[in-house]
Structure 1
C-alpha cells in the first residue's frame, strides 16, 4: 500500500486566506493528496517569555506572526473539496472542550465524515496566558477532559458529562459526526504515551529525524502491547519542510530540507519506520499560493515516481 501523503494548508501572512485556502485545497485534491492539515499558533509575543518549543534562546520564526485560525481554514478547505481528509493540529487546552467538540462534529457532518482531530498540549506560556482555559501546569488534565467530552458529545443522545470544566446534565447535542472522528495525539512523555494508548486512535508526532521517531514508535507499540490494546495505532507524521527548487548541497542539510528529490528521499527514509501517513507543511518559505501549488505538485509527483 502506498504511503499516504498530506499537505499543510496556507495560513501565513503571504497568503490570502479566503482565496488561497480553497484554491490550494482543490488543487491538492486534484493532484492526489490524501489529506489537508491546519495547525495552530495563537499569537506572536514580543518579546516572548521563552524560546521556540520552550527552548531558551531559540527564536520564533517570523512567519508565526500571522497564522489563520485552523478550524476556519479547514472549513474553507472542506467547501472546496469532496474526498480529501481534513486534519487538525490543535493546541487543545486553548479551547473550551464542549465548544471544540461541537465545532469538530459540525465540520465532520458538513464534510461528509472527513475530519481527523489532531490534538496536542502546546508549549507557549504566552499563548496559555492569553487563551487557555486552565493554567499551563494543568494542560494534561484539560486534554484528558477534552477527549472525554468529545467522545460524549459525538456519541448518542442524551449526552451527560460531569467534569471540572464541563457539566452536561442531560441534553441532545447535534449535529453528530458523519462517522466516529479519529483522535490523534502527540506524545513525548510517559504519561502522554499512556493517554494516547488508552484513549486515542493514533499518534501525531512532529518530524524529529528517522532514528528518534523509530525509537518513539517502538516505545508506543511496546506500551500498547503491555496495556493490551486491541485496536492498531494509526500514525501521521507532521513535517515542517523547507522546500527549494534547487538541490541543497550544504553539509548541514537536515531532513526535509532541499528540492523535490531530496524531500522524496527523506519521505522514503521515514516511510521505512512503518508510519501510515506523512504530511508536509511547505508553506513557510514560499512567496504565494502559486509557488505552494507548484511545489506541492512537484513533491507529490516525485515521491510517487520514487515508488512511495
Structure 2
C-alpha cells in the first residue's frame, strides 16, 4: 500500500466507549492501519442556535449528542496498542488551558513510546467557547498561537520559561518530556491560518471534500510555503468523513466518499493521486456498534490494499 491509512476511533453515543475504543484500536492495528484518530465536540446545544460548521440551517449529526473526551480516548487506545500513531483531528485548541494541554500531550507521547500526532484547530461552535473556552471566540487565533508557543517551550529543554497573555511560566523543570518533538498539524483554510501553517506546523490536515477542492487548497499551501521560504516539506494528513453504505450509491449527485466500499476506494485513489499523504477514514457514524465498525474497517482496508493504491 503506497499511502498510509488511518482509522477514527468510536467516540460517539452509540458506542460502549470503555469497551469499544480499545477493541477498535487493537483491531485497527491488527488489520494494518498505520494510525488511529480522535476528534473533539464538547456539547450539543438544544435547541441548536448555530448550524454545523457555522453553516446556517445545517443540523449537527445526531452522534454529536455525546462524544467521548479525545485525550482520554487516545489513552485507552494507547494502552491497547503498540505501533499505531495516535492522532487528534482535531483538538479545538482554544478550549484548553495551553500549559495543561501541552503537559497532557507530552505525557501521552512518553507513555505511548512517541506515537502522538497533535492536530490542532480553532473550531467553529460559539456555544462550546461560551462553555469551555479560555478566551472569547474572536480571539481564537491568538489563543492557538500562544498554545503553540507554550507547547514548544514545555516540550523543549529545561528550564522552561514563558510569558504570554494567558500563560506565565517561571523558570522551571517541566516533565515528562515527549519522546521526540510531537508533530503538529493544522487544518488551515483562511489566508491567516495558512500562513500560520507554513510558518509553524509540521503538516497540513484538510478534510476530503473533493479532488478539485483539495488540489486547489494544496497548491495554495505550497505556493505560500515557497513564498515564505520554507525548506522542510509539509506532511499531509487528510480526514475522510465517510458515509459508507452497503449498496453502491446510484444516480447523480454522489458526494465524495459516499456509497459502497468500492466507491470509497475509487474516491481515495483519485484524492491520493492528486495529493499524496496519509488518509484516515471516519466510519463511526455509519456503524451501530463496535463490532460493526471493526467489520467495516476491515472491509475498507482490504479493498484499499487490493486496489494497489
Task: Please classify the TM superposition score into its range, dividing by the shorter chain length.
Answer: over 0.9
1:241-294 per-residue CA deviation (whole Å, 9 max, x = no partner) reads: 011122122322211111111110011011012231111100012101111000
CA drift of 1:296 comes to 0.3
Residue 77 (structure 2) pairs with residue 77 (structure 1): yes
Q: Is the 8 A contact 1:40 1:69 kept in 2?
A: yes
CA distance in 2, matches of 1:260, 1:25: 20
Residue 156 (structure 2) pairs with residue 161 (structure 1): no
**Could you tell me which residue of structure 1 aligns to residue 21 of structure 2?**
21
CA distance in 2, matches of 1:256, 1:172: 47
User: What TM-score do the two structures reach when normalised by structure 1?
Assistant: 0.99
Q: Is the 8 A contact 1:48 1:126 kept in 2?
A: no
Residue 22 (structure 2) pairs with residue 12 (structure 1): no
CA drift of 1:135 comes to 0.2
**Could you tell me which residue of structure 2 aligns to residue 136 of structure 1?**
137
**Could you tell me which residue of structure 1 aligns to residue 124 of structure 2?**
123
Q: Please, which runs of 5 or more residues in structure 2 have no aligned partner?
A: none
- Secondary structure of 1:298's partner? helix
CA distance in 1, matches of 2:279, 2:7: 9
Q: Is the 8 A contact 2:214 2:275 kept in 1?
A: no
- Secondary structure of 1:168's partner? strand
Q: Is the 8 A contact 2:118 2:184 kept in 1?
A: yes
CA distance in 2, matches of 1:274, 1:188: 16
- Secondary structure of 1:254's partner? coil
RMSD of aligned Cα (Å): 0.8
1:180-230 per-residue CA deviation (whole Å, 9 max, x = no partner) reads: 100000111111000000011110111221111100000000100110001
Q: 4+ runs of 1 displaced by more than 3 Å?
A: none
Q: Please, which runs of 5 or more residues in structure 1 have no aligned partner?
A: none
**Could you tell me which residue of structure 2 aligns to residue 62 of structure 1?**
62
CA drift of 1:48 comes to 2.1
Q: Is the 8 A contact 2:208 2:238 kept in 1?
A: yes
CA distance in 2, matches of 1:148, 1:93: 13
CA drift of 1:235 comes to 0.6
CA drift of 1:231 comes to 0.6
**Could you tell me which residue of structure 1 aligns to residue 174 of structure 2?**
173
- Secondary structure of 2:142's partner? helix
CA distance in 2, matches of 1:281, 1:21: 13
- Secondary structure of 2:129's partner? helix
- Secondary structure of 2:120's partner? strand
CA drift of 1:75 comes to 0.3
CA drift of 1:50 comes to 1.1
1:2-32 per-residue CA deviation (whole Å, 9 max, x = no partner) reads: 1101000000111111111110000000000
**Could you tell me which residue of structure 2 aligns to residue 35 of structure 1?**
35
**How many residues matched?**
308
CA distance in 2, matches of 1:209, 1:169: 47
**Could you tell me which residue of structure 2 aligns to residue 53 of structure 1?**
53
CA drift of 1:95 comes to 0.4
Q: Is the 8 A contact 1:13 1:63 kept in 2?
A: yes
CA distance in 1, matches of 2:147, 2:251: 44
**Could you tell me which residue of structure 1 aligns to residue 277 of structure 2?**
276
CA distance in 1, matches of 2:14, 2:138: 35
CA distance in 2, matches of 1:239, 1:305: 19
